Amino acid sequence: MKNKEYLCICNKCGTILFDENPQTNAIKQVITGNEFHMKQIKDKETGEYFWACPVCETDANLMDL
């Protein structure tokens, strides 16, 4: 049996990420070993942390797979 995880893609750089904040209707996908972990970044205005693409350092372009 192949391992499955929630995944998302950054539509800006194309990086496939383990989704740390999947939507409720998200479906687990087969992992290939080419996935990256999301990065927690502190918002400069609110001081709150959010999950983001480690390459682009934003969550604006993330989409569930």
**Strand-pair category, 7-10 with 62-64:** antiparallel
pLDDT at position 2: 82
Furthest-apart CA atoms within the chain: distance in Å: 44
Rounded Cα–Cα distance for residues 56 and 33 (Å): 20
Give tens-digit pLDDT for 15-31: 999 999 999 999 999 99
Range of the domain at 43: 4-64
User: Which residues of the chain are under the pLDDT cut of 50?
Assistant: none
**Has this prediction a pTM greater than 0.75?**
yes
Total domain count, the chain? 1
pLDDT at position 60: 95
37: helix, strand or coil: strand
- Contacts of residue 51, Cβ cutoff 8 Å, sequence gap at least 6: 20, 21, 38, 39, 40, 41, 59
pLDDT at position 1: 62
